[in-house]
């Protein structure tokens, strides 16, 4: 690797060094507050390195990583979201853990994994990124180890993720055996030029296995089984991380290399993706109707949202790529907000995840309830919120590619979706309050500071939901620039 390569890799170096620094600082029994500060500092440093790399132009570093504007944009998105998760975790962990230092190290490592995934151009870096992300998540999910729920969720995730990683590896091996290359570029080109994967059975088999691996990470039907359990079992800030960074990194990878499939609507692979999209929208929204647990409800809703993203993914053209990017940003912001509210309300005993916990919230914490309502309406795609524009963009992309059936499914299912979002809103605004799992604002000083941190996140989220919902032009301009380099 050349010196220029090292400079290009600065964001990765910054993330890695931050993880090491936070880990070392933990050994000196530093305060929780300092650890959080160091973590945020590391993330800010990473963020500051992005323009430095961008100024040098898109650049391939070894065979493994490509750092062009597209990669850098998504790394920026992941890092910013992680910063939100860190702030949410502060108050949340303050209430229940005495030494949460390793948590932040793991969070930084997971982000590094996500960033590697976005930048990868090779099966090796793809797998490496995926595993760094997954292994960190196993621990993060089970981190508040005094509670059996968390450990159960962590183990569940470990088993399932490890199994699908094996699928993915085997698929890669098959593709390598047939093509003789591990480069994702060669892989994508095959689909653009070869008119589909129907050339040989080995390739089709390999492709299907890779889809299993990707589909698991995205949590789309029929690989969605883990989603509700993990969402419910994981600590709320970690759930936010799983829902955003972990899924988003995979979508970014998918958008870069697998958009070839969208060029051929009669291809088997295309039909498989369309079926996955439709099934995710239908199953996600219908199953969410049955939930009385907010985290499970949001899990099924996220399955449906990934289905919407896939609709845009299947559409052709630059607009579709922008639509995916825009929807992803909208989804990140709103999901972070939704789990932020859950985290903020959660006490030391358990997470505030029953709909009953939200009864009469508007009377007790009007601003928090308003934020949650705003975020839920954004998820439902009501105007004045970023979620509406995201959905609008997806329908726009679908209409341009004449995916009428998928759009009809989207329309019908998102109406169903509105129903369960309004259930929570009704609980907050109409129904009478109930006793909370614990007092919303513990008396200890640190916890109040932690609440301030998550308040800050929620204020930023609410502001972004409204700002991007009313004036999306700057973000669209950025996204158009970013996707310009895609095939």
Partner 1 sequence: MILIALIAWPFVAGVAAWIAGRRRPHVARWVSVLAMGAGLLALAVVWIVKAPDFALSGHGPFVASVHVAWVPQLGISFFVAADGLSLVMVTLCYALGLLAVLSSWREVTTRVGFFHFMLLWTIAALVGVFTALDLFLFYFLFEMMLVPMFFLIALWGHERRVYAAVKFFLFTQIGGLLMLVAILALYVIHGRQTGVYTFDYLQLLGTHLSMATATWLMLGFFAAFAVKLPAVPLHTWLPDAHTQAPTAGSLVLAGLLIKIGAYGMIRFMVPLFPQAAFRAAPVFMGLAVLGILYGAVLAFAQRDLKRLVAYTSVSHMGFVLLAIFAWNTLALQGAVLEIVCHAFSTGALFAIVGLMQERLHTRDMDKMGGLWLTAPRMGAVALVFALASLGLPSLGNFVAEFLILIGSWRVSEPATVLAAFGLVAATIYSLWLIQRVFQGRETPAVTMPDLTLREGVMLAAMAAPLLWLGVYPQPLFNAVRPGLAALQQRAVRGAPPPSSAVLLPPPTTRAAPTGSDAGAVSMSGDAQ
Residues that bind partner 1 (CB under 8 A): 377, 382-384, 388, 392, 395-396, 399-400, 404, 407-408, 411-412, 414-415, 418-419, 422, 426, 429-430, 471-473, 476-477, 480
Which of residues 80 and 476 has its CB atom nearest to partner 1 in the complex?
476
Which of residues 42 and 472 has its CB atom nearest to partner 1 in the complex?
472
Quick check: 53 and 67 in contact, CB under 8 A? yes
As a whole number of angstroms, the distance between CA 213 and CA 158 comes to 14
Task: Show Cβ contacts of residue 39 under 8 Å, excluding neighbours closer than 6 positions.
Answer: 18, 22, 86, 104, 107, 108
Quick check: 164 and 222 in contact, CB under 8 A? no
Task: Show Cβ contacts of residue 140 under 8 Å, excluding neighbours closer than 6 positions.
Answer: 103, 106, 107, 110, 234, 238, 241
Which of residues 88 and 374 has its CB atom nearest to partner 1 in the complex?
374
As a whole number of angstroms, the distance between CA 379 and CA 298 comes to 10
| Nearest-approach distance from CB 420 to partner 1, in angstroms | 10
| Nearest-approach distance from CB 255 to partner 1, in angstroms | 19
Which of residues 166 and 426 has its CB atom nearest to partner 1 in the complex?
426
Which of residues 452 and 477 has its CB atom nearest to partner 1 in the complex?
477
Structure token digits, residue 205: 């088999």
| Nearest-approach distance from CB 274 to partner 1, in angstroms | 17
Pairing of strands 59-61, 65-67: antiparallel
Which of residues 332 and 388 has its CB atom nearest to partner 1 in the complex?
388
* DSSP conformation letters of 293-330: BHHHHHHHHHHHHHHHHHHHHHS-SHHHHHHHHHHHHH
As a whole number of angstroms, the distance between CA 6 and CA 12 comes to 10
As a whole number of angstroms, the distance between CA 400 and CA 316 comes to 8
CA angle 230, 234, 236 (to 5 degrees): 120
| Nearest-approach distance from CB 289 to partner 1, in angstroms | 12
CA angle 127, 130, 132 (to 5 degrees): 105
As a whole number of angstroms, the distance between CA 48 and CA 64 comes to 23
How many other C-beta atoms are found inside a 10 Å radius of the C-beta of residue 124?
Answer: 15
| Nearest-approach distance from CB 203 to partner 1, in angstroms | 34
Which of residues 134 and 414 has its CB atom nearest to partner 1 in the complex?
414
| Nearest-approach distance from CB 368 to partner 1, in angstroms | 15
| Nearest-approach distance from CB 44 to partner 1, in angstroms | 30
| Nearest-approach distance from CB 375 to partner 1, in angstroms | 13
What residue has token string 């570029």? Answer: 185
Quick check: 352 and 476 in contact, CB under 8 A? no
Which of residues 183 and 396 has its CB atom nearest to partner 1 in the complex?
396
Query: ω into residue 222 within 30 of 0, thus cis?
Result: yes
| Nearest-approach distance from CB 452 to partner 1, in angstroms | 23
| Nearest-approach distance from CB 470 to partner 1, in angstroms | 9
Which of residues 109 and 407 has its CB atom nearest to partner 1 in the complex?
407
Which of residues 51 and 366 has its CB atom nearest to partner 1 in the complex?
366
Which of residues 160 and 476 has its CB atom nearest to partner 1 in the complex?
476
| Nearest-approach distance from CB 213 to partner 1, in angstroms | 33
Q: b/e string for 224-248 if b means 16 or more Cβ within 10 A?
A: bebbbbbbbbbbbbbbbbbbbbbbb
* DSSP conformation letters of 273-293: HHHHHHHHHHHHHHHHHT--B
* DSSP conformation letters of 38-52: HHHHHHHHHHHHHHH
Query: Three-state DSSP class for 190?
Result: helix
Which of residues 229 and 431 has its CB atom nearest to partner 1 in the complex?
431
| Nearest-approach distance from CB 431 to partner 1, in angstroms | 9
Quick check: 406 and 278 in contact, CB under 8 A? yes
């Amino acid at each position: 690797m050349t010196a220029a390569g090292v400079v290009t890799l600065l964001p990765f170096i910054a993330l890695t060094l931050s993880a090491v620094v936070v880990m070392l600082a933990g050994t000196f029994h530093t305060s929780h507050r300092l650890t959080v500060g160091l973590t945020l500092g590391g993330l800010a440093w990473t963020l500051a390195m992005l323009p430095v790399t961008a100024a040098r132009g898109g650049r391939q570093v070894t065979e493994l990583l490509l750092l062009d504007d597209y990669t850098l944009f998504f790394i920026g998105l992941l890092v910013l979201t992680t910063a939100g998760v860190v702030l949410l975790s502060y108050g949340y962990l303050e209430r229940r853990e005495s030494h949460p230092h390793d948590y932040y190290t793991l969070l930084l490592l997971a982000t590094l994994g996500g960033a590697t995934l976005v930048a990868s151009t090779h099966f090796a870096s793809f797998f490496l990124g995926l595993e760094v992300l997954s292994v960190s998540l196993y621990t993060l999910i089970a981190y508040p180890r005094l509670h059996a729920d968390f450990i159960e969720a962590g183990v569940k995730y470990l088993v399932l993720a490890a199994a699908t990683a094996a699928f993915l590896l085997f698929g890669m091996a098959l593709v390598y055996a047939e093509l003789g290359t591990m480069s994702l570029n060669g892989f994508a080109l095959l689909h653009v030029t070869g008119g589909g994967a129907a050339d040989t059975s080995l390739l089709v088999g390999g492709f299907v296995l890779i889809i299993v691996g990707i589909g698991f990470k995205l949590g789309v039907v029929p690989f969605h089984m883990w989603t509700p359990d993990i969402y419910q079992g994981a600590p709320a800030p970690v759930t936010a991380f799983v829902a955003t960074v972990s899924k988003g990194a995979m979508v970014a990878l998918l958008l870069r290399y697998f958009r070839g499939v969208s060029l051929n609507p009669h291809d088997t692979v295309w039909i498989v993706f369309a079926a996955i999209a439709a099934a995710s929208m239908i199953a996600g929204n219908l199953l969410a109707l049955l939930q009385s647990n907010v985290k499970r409800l949001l899990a099924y809703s996220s399955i449906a949202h990934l289905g919407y993203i896939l609709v845009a993914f299947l559409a052709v053209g630059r607009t579709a790529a922008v639509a995916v990017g825009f929807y992803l940003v909208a989804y990140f912001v709103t999901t972070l907000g939704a789990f932020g509210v859950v985290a903020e309300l959660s006490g030391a005993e358990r997470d505030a995840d029953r709909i009953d916990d939200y009864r009469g919230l508007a009377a007790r914490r009007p601003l928090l309830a308003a934020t949650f309502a705003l975020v839920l309406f954004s998820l439902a795609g009501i105007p004045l919120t970023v979620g509406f524009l995201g959905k609008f963009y997806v329908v726009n992309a679908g209409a341009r590619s004449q995916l009428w059936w998928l759009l009809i499914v989207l329309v019908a299912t998102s109406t169903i979706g509105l129903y369960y979002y309004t259930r929570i809103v009704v609980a907050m605004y109409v129904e009478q309050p109930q006793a909370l799992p614990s007092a919303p604002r513990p008396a200890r000083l640190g916890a109040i500071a932690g609440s301030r941190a998550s308040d800050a996140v929620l204020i930023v989220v609410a502001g972004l939901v409204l700002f991007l919902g009313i004036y999306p032009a700057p973000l669209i301009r950025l996204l158009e620039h970013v996707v310009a380099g895609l095939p």
